[in-house]
């Protein structure tokens, strides 16, 4: 059996299904470019029938990203498959990913169909897809709760109908590692034509077992793993990209398999996704958490100084945290010129147009006036803030003034610009940020409910940049806005407006 494990990234599809993680086209493209840098085998770019935006996103990724295969998800329906094919057919290596539930509970209550009907539909639709695209993946949804004999029957039939990959989803994160591994082994032993297809895993993390289950599947013969950056996905999320890839790399002695992932791009990918979605990475998160390579206890520090391997099973450099780079990043400040700024951005993996670079430089100078040292994290926040949101703003802030204090009613005066028109209004609120949000809502006439508001210090110190993430609910859909400034009221105003600009 081959010792090569394909990495199928579904950040842009299952990841984006996570409430509040909606990405616009530009953001999806940026994630897709980073996935290509990571050297993933397959990018699942979306669910083309779901909406016009999804269709456009999949089509654009298919047209622009070279290297990985580009997959589009489809239900087992002709109209889905036609639409999916229109979206991915421009890719160098297109893939259609079909799914149909096979567990008793899904067939009875969701689909209201008998086993024989499901089997027929799976076969017919796989043939329909294979007539358009040579690369077809089939997922029996809720496979881990499907009767094994029926699962084997479906898998064998879809392989005969043209499926080249059979994915075995643990859709509800119910499996435990040994049982999930046994299911893979069962399929290998009981499906006659199994050697004609790649077996894939797709594990959800409801019990915190997604990575363990995926590893168990690999141990039993799966050769594709479906993952998402930072473990993003429905409910508790998907198998985490960084965890499975680093587990395979670090424990090659046990697993004896490899991936082709450029692990040095992992940290950049994790940061990019966290910036775009506004979901912070917990400090204790394996691999990419801020504390993942920090040693606090004296005994540990002493051990690491004597020999890193005493307490480090992998190095920060493996995931793209380069000690030298961190040291270099300290030199940018108010006196840094255009060239140093541009070089640092290139080193960090940003490729900006001249116009974007100019805007980022202006913002950099503004921040550097208030803050002595500009760290890489600050630069990343500046770029995100100024040029990279992909949202052409309908409204911009012309003027902002806030008064607040222990004996004052917090009041904000905001002037917004829309094209050549400006409008100014004052509002009071429960606090300065609330007053600003109310003034902005009055000017823009948008009725959105604030569902989440977080402030995070991008770096440490009194003059650190504060990054504000705002999530609002507008007509049942969640929208995220992110902005950074040394003044958190200003960052809050910009983040809120960034959110509203997405609605227009």
**Which candidate, 84, 93, 95, places its Cα nearest to that of 50?**
84
Of these partners, ligand KIV, Zn ion, none, which one is at the site of residue 479 (CB under 5 to 8 Å by kind)? none
Verify binding: residue 138, ligand KIV, rule CB under 6 A: no
- Of 22, 103, 135, 139, which lies in the binding site for ligand KIV, with binding defined by CB under 6 A? 139
> How near is the Cβ of 169 to ligand KIV at its closest, in Å?
3
Verify binding: residue 180, ligand KIV, rule CB under 6 A: no
d(C-alpha 43, C-alpha 95), whole Å: 9
Near ligand KIV in 187-216, by CB under 6 A: 202, 204
Please spell the DSSP secondary structure of 319-337, one letter per residue: GT--HHHHHHGGG-BTT--
CB 93 within 8 A of CB 45: no
Stretch of 167-175, 253-261, 402-410, 438-446 contacting ligand KIV, by CB under 6 A: 167-175
- Contacts of 361 by beta carbon, 8 Å cutoff, 6+ apart: 338, 341
Of these partners, ligand KIV, Zn ion, none, which one is at the site of residue 139 (CB under 5 to 8 Å by kind)? ligand KIV
Q: How far is CA 93 from CA 17, 37, 42, 205, in A?
A: 24, 17, 9, 29
Of these partners, ligand KIV, Zn ion, none, which one is at the site of residue 141 (CB under 5 to 8 Å by kind)? ligand KIV
Verify binding: residue 80, Zn ion, rule CB under 5 A: no
Of these partners, ligand KIV, Zn ion, none, which one is at the site of residue 458 (CB under 5 to 8 Å by kind)? none
Residue with tokens 């090659």: 252
Task: Give 173 or 410: the residue with its C-beta nearer to ligand KIV.
Answer: 173
Q: How far apart are the first and last CA of the chain?
A: 53
Verify binding: residue 171, ligand KIV, rule CB under 6 A: yes
Burial class (CB in 10 A: 0-12, 13-18, 19+), 25: middle
CB 479 within 8 A of CB 466: no
| Max Cα-Cα span within the chain | 79
> How near is the Cβ of 158 to ligand KIV at its closest, in Å?
14
User: 3-class DSSP state for residue 166?
Assistant: strand
Verify binding: residue 103, ligand KIV, rule CB under 6 A: no
Task: Give 171 or 427: the residue with its C-beta nearer to ligand KIV.
Answer: 171
Number of shown-chain residues binding ligand KIV (CB under 6 A): 10
Task: Give 17 or 469: the residue with its C-beta nearer to Zn ion.
Answer: 17
- Of 9, 14, 377, 385, which lies in the binding site for Zn ion, with binding defined by CB under 5 A? 14
Of these partners, Zn ion, ligand KIV, none, which one is at the site of residue 494 (CB under 5 to 8 Å by kind)? none
Q: How far is CA 210 from CA 30, 136, 260, in A?
A: 26, 24, 21
Task: Give 7 or 387: the residue with its C-beta nearer to ligand KIV.
Answer: 7
Using CB under 5 A as the criterion, which residues of the chain lie in contact with Zn ion when the complex forms? 14
């Amino acid at each position: 059996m081959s010792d090569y494990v394909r990495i199928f990234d579904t950040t842009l599809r299952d990841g984006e299904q996570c409430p509040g993680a909606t990405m616009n086209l530009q953001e999806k493209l940026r994630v897709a470019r980073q996935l290509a840098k990571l050297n993933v085998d397959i990018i699942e770019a979306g669910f083309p029938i779901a909406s016009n935006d999804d269709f456009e996103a999949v089509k654009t990724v298919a047209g622009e990203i070279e290297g990985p295969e580009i997959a589009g998800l489809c239900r087992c329906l002709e109209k889905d498959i036609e639409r999916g094919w229109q979206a991915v057919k421009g890719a160098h290596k297109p893939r259609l990913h079909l799914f149909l539930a096979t567990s008793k509970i899904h067939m009875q209550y969701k689909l209201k169909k008998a086993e024989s009907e499901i089997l027929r539909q799976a076969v017919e639709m796989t043939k329909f897809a294979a007539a358009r695209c040579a690369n077809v993946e089939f997922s029996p949804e809720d496979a881990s709760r499907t009767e094994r004999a029926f699962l084997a029957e479906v898998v064998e039939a879809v392989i005969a109908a043209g499926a080249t990959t059979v994915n075995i989803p643990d859709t509800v994160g119910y499996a435990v590692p040994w049982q999930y591994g046994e299911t893979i082994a069962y399929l290998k032993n009981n499906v006659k034509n199994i050697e004609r297809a790649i077996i894939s895993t797709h594990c959800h993390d409801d019990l915190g077992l997604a990575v363990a289950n995926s590893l168990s599947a690999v141990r039993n013969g799966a050769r594709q793993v479906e993952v998402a950056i930072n473990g993003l996905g429905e409910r508790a999320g998907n198998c985490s990209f960084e965890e499975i890839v680093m587990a395979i790399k670090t424990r090659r002695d046990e697993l004896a398999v490899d991936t082709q992932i450029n692990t040095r791009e992992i940290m950049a990918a994790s940061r990019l996704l966290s910036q775009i979605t506004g979901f912070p990475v917990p400090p204790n998160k394996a691999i990419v958490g801020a504390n993942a390579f920090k040693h606090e206890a004296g005994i540990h520090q002493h051990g690491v100084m004597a020999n890193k391997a005493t307490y480090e099973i992998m190095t920060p450099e493996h995931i793209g945290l380069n000690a030298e780079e961190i040291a270099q990043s300290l030199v940018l400040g108010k006196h840094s010129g255009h060239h140093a700024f541009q070089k640092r951005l290139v080193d960090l993996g940003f490729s900006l147009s001249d116009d974007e670079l100019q805007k980022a430089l202006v913002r950099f100078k503004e921040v550097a006036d208030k803050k002595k040292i500009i760290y890489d994290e600050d630069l990343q926040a500046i770029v995100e803030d100024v040029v990279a949101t992909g949202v052409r703003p309908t409204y911009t802030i012309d003027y902002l003034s806030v008064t607040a204090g222990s004996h004052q009613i917090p009041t904000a005066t905001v002037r917004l610009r829309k094209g050549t028109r400006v409008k100014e209004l004052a509002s009071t609120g429960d606090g300065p940020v609330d007053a600003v949000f109310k003034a902005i809502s009055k000017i823009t006439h948008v009725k959105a409910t604030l569902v989440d508001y977080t402030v995070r210090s991008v770096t440490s110190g009194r003059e650190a940049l504060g990054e504000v993430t705002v999530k609002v609910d507008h007509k049942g859909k969640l929208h995220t806005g992110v902005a950074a400034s040394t003044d958190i009221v200003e960052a809050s105003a910009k983040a809120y407006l960034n959110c509203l600009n997405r609605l227009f």
